[in-house]
Amino acid sequence: EAGVAQSPRYKIIEKRQSVAFWCNPISGHATLYWYQQILGQGPKLLIQFQNNGVVDDSQLPKDRFSAERLKGVDSTLKIQPAKLEDSAVYLCASSTRQGLGYTFGSGTRLTVV
């Protein structure tokens, strides 16, 4: 089966600019997760969707980060405006409603200069 697709693979922006990441989960997976992974650390959960509803966004910096999952399939994560400390790999994962088949994409590496 096809895996979790993410794009772009790499992105370099200047601070205060905006950026968006896209994720297409595994077909049939109701739950979608966005993680932020700073160099040398484990992935940190930012937001979790169940279909198109938010289950948990307690770790999402809502003053600059936003995410949506319209129609309960694809998802976008946006940062506006970006800060230097947002430089990280942004990982998307998906699973079934029961949490089975938890699979990660390859991530988007963001560099803010």
Partner 1 sequence: DAKTTQPTSMDCAEGRAANLPCNHSTISGNEYVYWYRQIHSQGPQYIIHGLKNNETNEMASLIITEDRKSSTLILPHATLRDTAVYYCIVRGAAAGTALIFGKGTTLSVSS
Tokens found for residue 82: 């970006």
- Report the distance separating Cα 61 and Cα 51, nearest Å: 21
Q: With binding defined as CB under 8 A, does residue 95 bind partner 1?
A: yes
Q: Which is nearer to partner 1, 80 or 101 (CB)?
A: 101
Burial of residue 69, with CB atoms counted within 10 A of its CB: 0-12 exposed, 13-18 middle, 19 or more buried: buried
Is it true that the peptide bond before 81 is cis, omega within 30 degrees of 0?
A: yes
Q: CB–CB of 79/18 below 8 Å?
A: yes
Tokens found for residue 72: 């309960």
Q: Which is nearer to partner 1, 86 or 90 (CB)?
A: 90
Give min distance, CB of 36 to partner 1, in A: 11
Q: With binding defined as CB under 8 A, does residue 31 bind partner 1?
A: yes
Tell which one of 1, 27, 39, 41 touches partner 1 (CB under 8 A).
41
Residues 43-82 that bind partner 1 (CB under 8 A): 43-45, 48, 50, 55-56
Footprint on this chain of partner 1 (rule: CB under 8 A):
4, 31, 33, 35, 41-45, 48, 50, 55-56, 91, 93, 95, 97-99, 102-107
